[in-house]
A and B are shown apart, each in its own frame.
Chain A
Amino acid sequence: MNRMEEYEALLRQPEELPPALEDAVGRARARARRRRLWRRISAPAGSVAAVFAVFVLMVNLWTPFALACARVPVLKELAAAVAFSPSLKAAVENDYVQYIGQSQTENGITVNLEYLMADQGGLMLFLSITGPEGATSFMPRVEFTTPDGEGLEGCSVLMDSVAPGELTNAVTVAFKGEEEPQLPEALHMTCEVQAHIPGVTDHETWTADAAFTFDFPLDQRFRGQGRTVEVNRWIQLDGNDIRIVDLELYPTHARLNLEQSPDNAEELQGLDFYLEDGEGNRYEEGSASGLSALGDSYLFESPYFSDPDSLTLHITRAEWLEKGREFITVSLKTGEALEPMPEGMEISAIRLDETTARVAFLAPMPPGSSETSMNFYQLGSGSYRLPDGTEEYADGHSTYVSDTLWRDTPYETPIPEGYFVEEYTIENYPWDTIDMGLHITRRTAFDDPVTLALQ
């Protein structure tokens, strides 16, 4: 076979297409959806408000509705669903859970509303969903009202997708803590469900494959739960004055409430900490709902049921934003900052076209990071300022580790070893300089944690 015959043969040779090619478009859609979700979460400063902005459905008023409630022995399935959260695990072990046990089916989709837990901090619903074969997950979208049609007030509803048949804390109502919420005696819940079938479901458009309504009572045990440990002590943390106001201990989570001195040179932007009781049990920061802070109120796993005699606060890391340095001016012509960058942080910028720019913050990964454990932290606030001072949010955001910055552009630049990149895309920006918002200017890890006995 000569070269031309070889060419003809190669051209005619049927190429078997891999089955995975079948869903290439579906995968792209799903990936784009995840990206958008991340953009929505992270772009507005990664603040609690931003987290709310993603999942949150604001609801309005609520009034009581009397119904009886029933308690049923806790199942292994529920124990598994709360195993990741020490607070919820302790709550379940202490029978702090209400069985609902309602099931409805519509359009081939079944929702089993199984359990709920509630306290002054929030309400968590555990449910499972089954549906058509091929569905890999289900997304619920819920609204709460009283049977009178009035909504909930002062709270946000967070929703999570559910794997087929898996009991999940899919709905959480988070009370914002500004006012003491009054749990109603019962709730009316409308619940739409979208089944995710790869290659079939259009993620861009919300389509309810089934809609349900549930009415259920709220166990009166959930009302008035929680206690406050007053602290009211000022400490100097990393050169700034912070008042430890109090601890709020609820069955499902706990809160460390702080106050910052207005005279501080820096704003406290983040805190890593844990609490430890006299027996060496640790209560880590964070909560089962995924929220970690509400302003200066930091959430942590609750010692409510263990009721320890003593609690000591250990602060391991603090993040600060210097007052007056909330923005940094960057030239889109040279790609460089026009004023000094915070220590340890670098910045680079390019213009993709006449109106689109990209700005990247670079910073070293913290010690202990690896390829499988990326400990990113937030560098930019996600916002920028127009020349007239108007603040806007960036149109896109991603955080990554790579060896090259601005890949596939004429501006390819090596990234220092051990650094990560937080990159923002800004559209409709024709000007030559841009003020990019900073989230932090300093990050201190305390080799010896700052400790304070609180109780």
Chain B
Amino acid sequence: MTEQEFADRAEAIKARLYRTARLYLGSEAHALDAVDEAVYQGFLHYKKLRQPEYFDTWLTRILINACNAELRRRKRELAVAELPETAAEEFDALPLREAIARLPKELRAVIVLRYFQGLTLAETAQALDIPPGTVSTRQRRALSLLKLHLTEEV
């Protein structure tokens, strides 16, 4: 991949990256920072991308890492294990966008990529560097919390 090819492909998906980060982080400014960081990191490492056909998921993965770094800075994340017993009821009461923003980051990443970016289960697994089975488990848990009845297949 040449630098120009990287620039063209990053340009082509930057709006999608922004929407993902916006939903994941819940803030326009932080989303913009995360996209900037992801494109920058991508720029530094695109020569190491051996399979250009996975460019989109590769850059999405970098974006999710950038978002997580951003979250760490904000220190508002809630680990899955720390979810309170009443969480489901609380999520039920929130508007969907806010409920998604309140999900633990592991679940939120799956929901955003699967149901808002339109990635397949396999692509989501690749983007998050986790086994497909874990994606499946997390999306089931997240859909249940959000009271969303969406397909869990593909």
B43 and A32 contact, CB distance less than 8 A: yes
Partner among B28, B39, B68, B72 whose Cβ is within 8 Å of the Cβ of A25: B39
A447 sits at the interface (CB 8 A): no
Question: A3: which of B39, B68, B148 is its contact (CB, 8 Å)?
Answer: B148
B7 at the interface (CB under 8 A from A): yes
Q: Which of B3, B39, B68, B97 contacts A24 (CB 8 A)?
A: B39
B36 interface residue per 8 A CB criterion: yes
Question: Of B14, B22, B42, B150, which is within 8 A of A15 by CB?
Answer: B22
Q: In whole angstroms, how far apart are the Cα atoms of A15 and B19 in the complex?
A: 7
- CB of B30 to closest CB in A, whole Å: 12
Interface residue A221 (Cβ < 8 Å from any Cβ of B):
no
A75 at the interface (CB under 8 A from B): no
Whether B116 and A28, one on each chain, are in contact in the complex, defined by CB atoms closer than 8 angstroms, is no
Among residues of A, the one whose C-beta sits closest to the C-beta of B92 is: A3
Q: Which of B18, B22, B35, B69 contacts A408 (CB 8 A)?
A: B69
Judge whether B32 and A28 touch: CB under 8 Å. no
Interface residue tally for chain B (C-beta within 8 Å): 32
Question: Do B149 and A24 have beta carbons less than 8 Å apart?
Answer: no
Residue of B nearest to A356 (CB): B48
Q: Chain A's nearest CB lies how many Å from the CB of B95?
A: 7
A7 touches B18 (CB 8 A): no
Complex formed: what's the CA distance from A27 to B34 in Å?
A: 13
**A-chain residues with CB within 8 Å of residue B150 when the two chains form the complex:** 4, 7
Is A31 an interface residue, CB under 8 A from the partner? yes
* B42–A28 CB distance below 8 A: yes
Residues of B within 8 A of A4 (CB): 148-150
A interface residues, tally (CB under 8 Å): 23
Contact flags B38-54 to A (C-beta < 8 A → 1, else 0): 01101110000000000
Query: Is B141 an interface residue, CB under 8 A from the partner?
Result: no
Task: Please tell me if the beta carbons of B36 and A27 are within 8 angstroms of each other in the complex.
Answer: yes
Among A7, A21, A408, point to the contact of B32 (Cβ < 8 A).
Answer: A21
In the complex, what residues of A have CB within 8 A of residue B116's CB? 10-11
Contact digits for B138-154, partner A, Cβ 8 Å, 1 yes 0 no: 00000000111110000
B22 contact set on A, CB distance < 8 A: 15
How far apart sit A272 and B18, CA to CA, in the bound complex (Å)? 47
Q: Is B80 an interface residue (CB 8 A)?
A: no
Q: Across the interface, do B35 and A7 meet the contact criterion of CB distance under 8 Å?
A: no
Cross-chain contact A407 with B97 (CB below 8 angstroms): no
A3 touches B96 (CB 8 A): yes
Contact A24 B96 (CB under 8 A): no
Closest residue of A by beta carbon distance from B17: A24
Query: Does chain B have a CB within 8 A of A388?
Result: no
A21 contacts which chain B residues (CB < 8 A)? 14-15, 18, 32, 35
Q: What residues of A have a CB within 8 angstroms of the CB of B40 in the complex?
A: 27-28, 31-32
B11 within 8 A of A: yes
Interface pair A32/B11, CB less than 8 Å apart: no
A407 to B36, CA, bound (A): 18
B41's closest neighbor in chain A, by CB?
A: A28
Set of chain A residues within 8 Å of B15, measured between Cβ atoms: 17, 21
Provide the residues of chain B in CB contact with A204, threshold 8 Å: 3
4 A-B pairs closest in CB distance: A28-B40, A28-B43, A28-B39, A6-B96
Interface residues of A (CB under 8 A from B): 3-4, 6-7, 10-11, 15, 17-18, 20-21, 24-25, 27-29, 31-32, 35, 202, 204, 407-408
Given contacts A3-B146, A21-B18, 5 further A-B contacts (CB under 8 A): A4-B149, A7-B150, A202-B3, A204-B3, A408-B65
Name 24 A/B residue pairs within 8 A (Cβ), A-sorted: A3-B147, A4-B148, A4-B150, A7-B150, A10-B96, A11-B116, A15-B18, A17-B18, A18-B28, A18-B32, A21-B18, A21-B35, A24-B10, A25-B7, A25-B10, A25-B11, A28-B43, A31-B40, A32-B40, A32-B44, A35-B44, A202-B3, A204-B3, A408-B69
